């Protein structure tokens, strides 16, 4: 499906000046099914669009003539000082986008001091990714995203491998007890091509829906028997000294419950609009969750982050850092690791511009007072 054999042409295409400029190019470069897989969302893709619209709907009320000398984008996260608050969101099967695959993305992130959240469904072994980005090189955080496996032994196995390979935190995805209605993917006939697989899960059977029978429930009689619960989170938490973050939390009560369980952080996420269509946008949920959990618990957010001003708004609404998804997978598809590095650089530059133009020398000065809801519905 992908064209991994295409000659590597690791140059930034002319005319790419903004993080989203890779999107149209990726659409040309990828085959339609891979495009549908990486870019599509659930059902009518309303949440996919609303994620974007929700960041745009906030206006900025800038301050002028403030002291900007000595400013920076540094942020503290899980005991580390990061150069900036950008991480790569977990995306599966990146070798489908480009032969550079997950190693390309990770190296690009490291070069830009960005964090990496590797998907457990990566098409590259987690050990190989970790080896490619040694901590000495000044990279950002290296985390592993995890789904709870039907067999706890398999989950533990993944956990131990992550610990051994040097992953610094576990990000447990909790918003997908089943896949969403990925209509665009299904219409495009998406299937993994030979040679690309979730290699980290090799040998671990995945839950499958029971074939529907008259009178039967495809889901409730099938895979939902194994759907993860809070008990599973508590269990996982007890099995490792690594910080545990939950990804996919949108409700303040769930955020409070997670905090009570001692998680190290939350990723406010609707899975990039890929699971429950018409789920609330993350920009809507973020400040409500920040209010619910107080100031201490680190929150990250993803979904629709496309501009430096979006990052600034996320910080203002309570995020410590943000995860970027589609922009980097599009850049990977177009220009491999170099594209990913370029997108990160563009976002980082735009964040600095946004800080300067709103009068914020540091992210600590990026507060909700910067934000204005100018016109309802506009």
List active site positions. Answer: 271
> Which listed residue (156, 192, 227, 292) binds a second copy by CB under 8 A?
227
CB-wise, 95 or 274, nearer to a second copy?
Answer: 274
Does the footprint of a second copy cover residue 285 (CB under 8 A)?
yes
User: Considering beta carbons, is residue 1 or 54 the nearer one to a second copy?
Assistant: 54
Q: What's the closest the beta carbon of residue 195 comes to a second copy, in angstroms?
A: 26
Report the C-alpha gap between 311 and 120 in whole angstroms.
Answer: 25
Q: Which of 183, 192, 197, 207: binder of a second copy (CB under 8 A)?
A: 183
Q: How many Å apart are CA 117 and CA 203, to the nearest integer?
A: 23
Q: Angle at which helices 308-316 and 326-358 pack, to 10 degrees?
A: 70
| Site for a second copy, residues 293 to 312, rule: CB under 8 A | 307-309
Residue 290's Cβ-side half-sphere holds a number of Cα atoms within 13 Å equal to 21
**Contact letters (x/-) for a second copy, 70-109, by CB under 8 A?**
xxxx---------x--------------------------
Non-local (6+) Cβ contacts of 295 within 8 A are none
Closest CA to 201 of 137, 123, 285: 123
List the interface residues with a second copy, window 314-353 (CB under 8 A).
345, 349-350, 352-353
Name which of residues 129 to 168 contact a second copy (CB under 8 A): 138
CA distances (Å), 20 to each of 59, 232, 272, in order?
Answer: 20, 38, 15
Residue 181, interface with a second copy (CB under 8 A)?
yes
In this structure, the number of other CB atoms found within 10 A of the CB of residue 362 comes to: 14
| Distance separating alpha carbons of residues 344 and 48, to the nearest angstrom | 21
Of 197 and 209, the one with the shorter C-beta distance to a second copy is 209
Helix axes of 326-358 and 21-29: crossing angle, nearest 10 degrees: 170
- The answer to whether residue 372 forms part of the interface with a second copy (CB under 8 A) is yes
Question: With respect to a second copy, which residue has the nearer C-beta, 76 or 349?
Answer: 349
**Interface with a second copy: number of residues (CB under 8 A):** 95
Q: Name the strand (E) or helix (H) holding 164.
A: helix 152-165
List Cβ neighbours of 56 (8 Å cut-off, separation of 6 or more).
none
Segment interacting with a second copy (CB under 8 A) among 52-60, 91-99, 200-208, 314-322 = 52-60
Residue with smaller CB distance to a second copy, 296 or 375: 375
Report if residue 238 touches a second copy, rule: CB under 8 A: no
**CA–CA gap between residue 134 and residue 137 (Å, rounded):** 6
Select from 11, 251, 262, 364 the one that contacts a second copy (CB under 8 A): 251
Decide whether 59 or 199 has the Cβ nearer to a second copy.
Answer: 59
| Smallest distance from a second copy to CB 55, Å | 8
Closest C-alpha among 325, 296, 295, 297 to residue 310: 325
Single out the segment in contact with a second copy by CB under 8 A; choices: 98-106, 116-124, 160-168, 209-217. 209-217
Q: How far apart are CA 33 and CA 3, in angstroms?
A: 12
Q: Which of 23, 100, 102, 254 binds a second copy (CB under 8 A)?
A: 254
Pick one of 3, 11, 66, 80: the residue that binds a second copy (CB under 8 A): 66
In angstroms, the CA 38 to CA 94 distance is: 9
């Amino acid at each position: 499906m992908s064209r991994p054999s295409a000659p590597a042409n690791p140059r930034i295409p002319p005319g790419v000046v903004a993080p989203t400029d890779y999107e149209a190019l990726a659409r040309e470069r990828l085959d339609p099914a891979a495009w549908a897989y990486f870019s599509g969302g659930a059902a009518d893709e309303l949440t996919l669009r609303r994620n974007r619209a929700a960041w745009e709907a906030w206006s900025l009320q800038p301050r002028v003539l403030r002291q900007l000398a000595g400013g920076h984008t540094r942020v503290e996260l899980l005991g580390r000082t990061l150069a900036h608050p950008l991480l790569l969101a977990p995306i599966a099967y990146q070798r489908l986008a480009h032969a550079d695959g997950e190693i390309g993305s990770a190296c690009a992130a490291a070069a830009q001091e960005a964090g990496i959240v590797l998907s457990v469904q990566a098409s590259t072994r987690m050990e190989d990714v970790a080896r490619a980005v040694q901590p000495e090189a000044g990279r950002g955080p290296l985390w592993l995203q995890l789904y709870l496996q039907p067999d706890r032994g398999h989950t533990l196995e993944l956990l131990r491998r992550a610990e051994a390979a040097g992953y610094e935190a576990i990000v447990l995805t909790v918003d997908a007890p089943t896949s969403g209605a990925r209509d665009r993917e299904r219409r495009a006939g998406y299937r993994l091509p030979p040679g690309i697989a979730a290699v980290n899960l090799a040998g671990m059977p995945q839950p499958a829906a029971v074939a529907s029978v008259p009178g039967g429930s495809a889901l409730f009689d099938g895979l939902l028997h194994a759907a993860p619960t809070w008990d599973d989170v508590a269990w996982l938490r007890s099995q490792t000294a690594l910080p545990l973050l939950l990804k996919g939390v949108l409700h303040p009560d769930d955020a409070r419950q997670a905090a009570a369980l001692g998680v190290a952080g939350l990723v406010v996420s609707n899975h990039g609009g890929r699971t429950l269509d018409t789920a609330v946008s993350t920009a809507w949920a973020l400040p409500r969750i920040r209010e619910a959990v107080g100031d201490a618990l680190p929150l990250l957010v993803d979904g629709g982050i496309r501009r430096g001003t979006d990052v600034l708004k996320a910080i203002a609404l309570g995020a410590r850092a943000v995860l970027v998804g589609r922009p980097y997978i599009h850049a990977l598809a177009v220009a491999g690791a170099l594209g990913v590095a370029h997108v990160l650089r563009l976002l980082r530059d735009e964040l600095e511009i946004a800080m300067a133009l709103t009068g914020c020398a540091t992210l600590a000065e990026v507060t909700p007072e910067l934000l204005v809801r100018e016109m309802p519905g506009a």
